[in-house]
Each structure stands twice: as structure tokens, then as C-alpha cells.
Amino acid sequence: MRAFALSDTEYRQLERLARRHNITIREIMAEMGEVIRREFNAEHNQNASGPLFTFVRNHVVGPDYFVSANVPGPEAVVDIFEARAVWTADVKFASVLLDIYHSRDLAKDVLANTLAWSRFWAVRFPTSEGRVKFKAVLEELEEKPRLRVIDGGA
């Protein structure tokens, strides 16, 4: 059974390439993925003016998860695929944690994390449609009345 969505012709080409170089099709696909990732990140980061960003995470998921969470700034040089994976995990963890822990501090941390990711994706999302959507989300989240409700009116 094939794990990749390839046509029969593409699959035969990969089989020939694998035999020629004495490697598996899986190894070829992994290398192709790395080449695509490098090229995509190189193109996507060409206008980034900030330092290289490395994700550092606390592997314990609990009510203080977002206190130590880190999000790259829009100007950071970052692996976009890794950023997407971390962002996706943050969204899932936020939903689960807010269902379990009913805490004002957690809600504020989730909001801060959501704002940070929205700022990042409003500039760095790979498509213009995505950037427009994140800009709209960011503008909506940054409205003062909503922040006052969470901050207790400050």
C-alpha cells in the first residue's frame, strides 16, 4: 500500500530512482520534503529582518502552559512549518485547558498567546488571503472593550 498520493507513472519513476541510488522510496520522499522545506523557508524568510527564532517549550501541559509559551515576532527568521505545528498545538491546548481550568489568569495567557500568533500570521501567513483573515482577527481581538472584560476593567 502506498503512503503517498502519487500517480502510477510517478511511483514507477521513484522506484527507478530508488533502485539507481540504492535507497528506499521513503528516503527519497523524505529528502524531497527537506528540499521543499528549505526552499519554501528560504523564500518565505527572505524579507525577515529579525534574528533566527528557535522554539523552546515546556513539555508539561497544565494551567501555566502559556506562561512559558513563545511565539516568534513577525520579523523573525523561522521555520514556517514548525511555526504552524506549534501554533496548531497552542490552539488545541488552549481549548482543552480552558475547558478544564476556569481561571482568569489562564484566559489572559491564552489571549496574549492568541494575539501574538495573530500578529505573526497577519504578516507571515503564506497566502495573502490568510494574512487578511489574521489581520481581521487581530483587529477584533485588540479592541479595548474585550480586553477590559478579561483584565477586570483596567
DSSP letters for 1-38: --SS---HHHHHHHHHHHHHHT--HHHHHHHHHHHHHH
Evaluate whether residue 52 is within a structural domain.
no
Give the range of the structural domain holding residue 108, as residue numbers without chain letter.
65-151
Asked whether the whole model's pTM tops 0.85, one would answer no
**For 93-122, how does the pLDDT look when each residue is reduced to its tens digit (9 = 90+)?**
999 999 998 888 888 899 899 999 999 999
Residues 96 and 131 in one domain: yes
Beta bridge partners, 52, equal: 77
> What are the pLDDT digits (tens) for 122-153?
999 989 999 999 999 999 888 765 555 555 54
pLDDT tens digit sequence for 50-89: 888 988 876 677 778 887 668 999 999 999 999 999 999 9
* Domain-located, residue 50: no
Number of domains, the chain:
2
Q: Tell me, yes or no, whether 54 lies in a domain.
A: no
Examine the domain organization and report whether 40 and 73 are in the same domain: no
Examine residue 36 and state whether it is found in any structural domain, yes or no.
Answer: yes
Chain position carrying cell 495573502: 128
- Name the residue with cell 497552542: 90
Residues whose CB is less than 8 angstroms from the CB of residue 73 and which lie 6 or more positions away in sequence, other chains included: 50, 53, 119, 120
Q: Establish if 59 belongs to a structural domain.
A: no
Q: Helix or strand or coil: residue 58?
A: coil
Has residue 106 been placed in a domain?
A: yes
* 144 and 80 co-located in one domain: yes
C-alpha cell at 45: 524568510
Are 108 and 146 in the same domain? yes
